[in-house]
Amino acid sequence: MDKLINQIAEELNIKYSQAENTIKLIDEGNTIPFIARYRKEVTGGLSDEVLRNFNERLSYLRNLEERKAEVVKSIDEQGKLTDELLQAIAICQTLAEVEDVYRPFKQKKKTRATVAKAKGLEPLANIIIEQTETKDINEIAKEFISEEKGVASSEEAIAGALDIIAEDISDNPKFRKYIKKVCYREGLIETKATKPDEKSNYEMYYDYKETVSKMPSHRILAINRGEKEEFLKVKLEKNVDKILFYIERDIIKGETQFTKMLKDTILDSFTRLIEPSVDREIRSDLTEKAEEKAIKVFGQNAKQLLLGAPIKGKTVMGFDPAYRTGCKIAVIDDTGKVLDTETVYPTAPQNDVTTAKTKLLKLIQKDDIDMIAIGNGTASRESEMFVSDMIKEASRPVSYAIVSEAGASVYSASKLATEEYPDINVSIRGAISIARRLQDPLSELVKIDPKAIGVGQYQHDVNQKNLAESLTGVVEDSVNTVGVDVNTATPSLLSYVAGINSTIAKNIVKYRDENGKFKNRKELLNVSKLGKVAFEQCAGFIRVFDGDNPLDITAVHPESYEATEKLLTNLGFNKNDLTDKTKLAELKTKLLNLDTSKLAEELGIGEMTLKDIISELSKPGRDPREDMPKPILRSDVLKFEDLREGMVLTGTVRNVIDFGAFVDIGVKHDGLVHISEMSDSYIKNPSDVVSVGDIVKVKVIKIDFDRQKVALSMKV
């Protein structure tokens, strides 16, 4: 255990005590959001991101130790365990290294070597590999001819013995380790076109080479996809002479009658057994690392999108664009309730602009619509032009925003959407989702499979289990960062709260429906299957507005209520003053200059916990997303043809990838800001500079009118 704690502490650059305490908390069944927020004294203030990395690494290292124990047991049962093998297994840092050591002892399927061993040719293989016998090998081999065992000649006996040697060389972990090291340091990935004359997205890789060690993750995944779609042939180039020399130097003991046959056997072992296997392992390892990076980028983007600033107190018209089937319209009031639905046909082939305009202007006046959320899918551009023109005639000021509709169609046809809107047509549900995404991105996006949100890179190519686990963590962190209003939240949103699973989430809503609004957090203990353990994990993330305890609208955990009330009393206030604007302003002033070190001791709580309590009392019930960039609201449309090089525009970052960011500048296609155009100084990672949802100023530096592509620069 000490070794495990030391390793994690070293890898994550944290103290031994932090690692030890965190492992204890995880093993006790505490959730990551709960540990990150309410056990800061124990972990030394580790963030949710560090804790998730910690948890992943802990799981991997425990699996590694488990596998080592299984391998040791298996080799011991074969009677082949030595001190050297024990040491070799003990120093393995990865599962791949453990498997390399175990390779010679694995139960093998039928191979040329196992067939030769069954024919009794192992002693002959030992004679050849020892290279001390002076008697002619052909004469020695005659002793192994056996009609019963199927060895017809001395040549056949020697060939079988060499097959055994070839497999032994292939199974040698020292050789494999060296070969992999050479490939990683000096190897090249080479790609060629399978159909050189055919156009595709992979043309830059039709004749391409790059060093393995320098290949970025997005290129690895692009090449993998090109290979899968049969546009590319991929090969790992390596210094074969250097590798063969290394193996020969280890095996061949001077010039003997065995030298040539051993050199040939080493070459056979390398080309037939080692190279295909090592190539697969290296490609798999590169893919795994690239996928890890892609999943991380996807997670960062998804988190920013989930934490997008909500638009509160506004009535929104959701506009789901389409051509032949018509544009679907849904009007949602400021509480998320559906007021009206409609279908209009302002786009081709009907082009019934007049009727569409009349219907929507009536809805704007009838429902006091403030904003229109237009989905960014098919026919979005034409719909935007129609809306921009239409709102000029509206009886009240109306603006519009382009909203990502990724996953809206998946949600529309889902069981959840059917439960929410059983009487509303599937096609209209997409418009409802688009409107609600503008009002409250988090509440709406949690209803959708995270990978359908569409802010990643190659998300459909990566390991789907790893992606799902990572994104679930991202959604959990986002939901628990914001907190959840228990009296309005859907089961989808509640199920991401720490300690609450989908069954408990449904039980909370059922209890609410049967008993009316929750009056306080303590009432959660009346919910079926929500016991003391679940309550401890979830309580601080649940908000009860208009209840009987004002502390329930804050992120202060009930376990700290006593200390919080004591603090308020010391300052001359009580918890009910949190709902009085005048008193709250006075409280804020008094909270500014407290000696937290001394006060924490007096209250019997940790200083970090006290600082969090002070922060919450300064802004009770405040939504942390209010600090996030607000969506860009437009009232007029910009055509692609209007763009000119040198033009400076304001845009919204829609996606961040390895090599840059895509920015919505109000034309049909998002423009690309390449990483080299993000700053005058060197940038290693675009995520260090921008996040999804950021509002940025960009300059148009190149326009491709034929391909409808625009290159942007942030060096404005």
459 closest CA partner among 311, 302, 351: 302
How far apart are the C-alpha atoms of 17 and 247, rounded to whole Å? 45
pLDDT of residue 11 exceeding 70, the answer is yes
Q: DSSP code of 151?
A: B
Across 84-99, b (16+ Cβ under 10 Å) vs e yields ebeebbeebeeeebbb
Residues whose CB falls within 8 Å of the CB of residue 287, separated by 6 or more in sequence, listed in order = 220, 221, 224
For residue range 68-101, list pLDDT tens digits in order: 999 999 999 999 999 999 999 999 999 999 999 9
pLDDT of residue 572 exceeding 90, the answer is yes
For CATH 3.30.420.140, list the domain ranges present in the chain: 316-439
For CATH 1.10.3500.10, list the domain ranges present in the chain: 144-295
Could you tell me if 94 and 11 are in contact, meaning their C-beta atoms sit under 8 angstroms apart? no
pLDDT of residue 328 exceeding 80, the answer is yes
- What percent of the chain stands above pLDDT 90? 71
Place of tokens 């001791």: 601
| pLDDT attached to residue 457 | 63
Residues whose CB falls within 8 Å of the CB of residue 249, separated by 6 or more in sequence, listed in order = none
| pLDDT attached to residue 250 | 96
Q: Do β-strands 327-332 and 399-403 pair in parallel, antiparallel, or remain unpaired?
A: unpaired
pLDDT of residue 460 exceeding 80, the answer is no
CA geometry: angle 327, 328, 329, nearest 5 deg: 115
pLDDT of residue 684 exceeding 70, the answer is yes
pLDDT of residue 682 exceeding 90, the answer is no
Could you tell me if 234 and 223 are in contact, meaning their C-beta atoms sit under 8 angstroms apart? yes
How far apart are the C-alpha atoms of 16 and 61, rounded to whole Å? 16
| pLDDT attached to residue 643 | 83
Minimum mean pLDDT range among 183-197, 225-239, 467-481: 467-481
Could you tell me if 539 and 480 are in contact, meaning their C-beta atoms sit under 8 angstroms apart? no
How far apart are the C-alpha atoms of 407 and 449, rounded to whole Å? 8
Rounded average pLDDT over 24-40: 97
Structure tokens at 568: 């308020």
Distance linking the first and last C-alpha atoms of the chain: 54
Which listed CATH number (2.40.50.140, 1.10.3720.10, 1.10.150.120, 3.40.640.10) goes with 640-713?
Answer: 2.40.50.140
For residue 176, the Cα-to-chain-centroid distance in whole angstroms is 32
How far apart are the C-alpha atoms of 16 and 8, rounded to whole Å? 8
For residue range 641-676, list pLDDT tens digits in order: 878 888 888 888 888 888 889 988 877 778 899 999
- pLDDT confidence bin for 455, thresholds 50/70/90: low
Structure tokens at 657: 């990838």
| pLDDT attached to residue 359 | 97
Could you tell me if 524 and 484 are in contact, meaning their C-beta atoms sit under 8 angstroms apart? no
How far apart are the C-alpha atoms of 218 and 672, rounded to whole Å? 15
How far apart are the C-alpha atoms of 369 and 319, rounded to whole Å? 13
Q: What share of the chain is helix, strand, coil (3-state, %, to 5)?
A: 55, 10, 35
- What percent of the chain stands above pLDDT 70? 99
Q: What homologous superfamily does CATH list for 316-439?
A: YqgF/RNase H-like domain (3.30.420.140)
How far apart are the C-alpha atoms of 671 and 688, rounded to whole Å? 19
Q: What homologous superfamily does CATH list for 2-105?
A: RuvA domain 2-like (1.10.10.650)
Minimum mean pLDDT range among 40-49, 73-82, 113-122, 630-639: 630-639
For CATH 2.40.50.140, list the domain ranges present in the chain: 640-713
Average pLDDT, rounded, for the chain: 92
Q: What homologous superfamily does CATH list for 144-295?
A: Tex N-terminal region-like (1.10.3500.10)
Could you tell me if 35 and 47 are in contact, meaning their C-beta atoms sit under 8 angstroms apart? no
According to DSSP, the residues that pair with 211 across neighbouring strands are: 188
Q: Letter for the amino acid at 171?
A: D
How far apart are the C-alpha atoms of 409 and 576, rounded to whole Å? 45
Structure tokens at 122: 């192992």
DSSP letter string, 337-380: -EEEEEEE--STTT--HHHHHHHHHHHHHHHT--EEEEESSTTH
Sign of the CA dihedral 552, 558, 562, 567?
Answer: negative
Which listed CATH number (3.40.50.10470, 1.10.150.310, 1.10.3720.10, 1.10.510.10) goes with 509-627?
Answer: 1.10.150.310
For residue range 579-611, list pLDDT tens digits in order: 999 999 999 999 998 999 999 999 999 999 999
How far apart are the C-alpha atoms of 300 and 657, rounded to whole Å? 10
Three-state DSSP class for 684?
Answer: coil
Bond before 349 cis per omega within 30 degrees: yes
How far apart are the C-alpha atoms of 459 and 582, rounded to whole Å? 50
Bond before 276 cis per omega within 30 degrees: no
How far apart are the C-alpha atoms of 663 and 19, rounded to whole Å? 40
Three-state DSSP class for 119?
Answer: coil
Q: Letter for the amino acid at 139?
A: E
Sign of the CA dihedral 247, 253, 255, 258?
Answer: negative
For residue range 378-389, list pLDDT tens digits in order: 888 889 889 999
Burial class of residue 24 in the structure, from the number of CB atoms within 10 Å of its CB (0-12 exposed, 13-18 middle, 19+ buried)? exposed
Structure tokens at 214: 């320098």
pLDDT of residue 175 exceeding 90, the answer is yes
Minimum mean pLDDT range among 86-90, 348-352, 411-415: 411-415
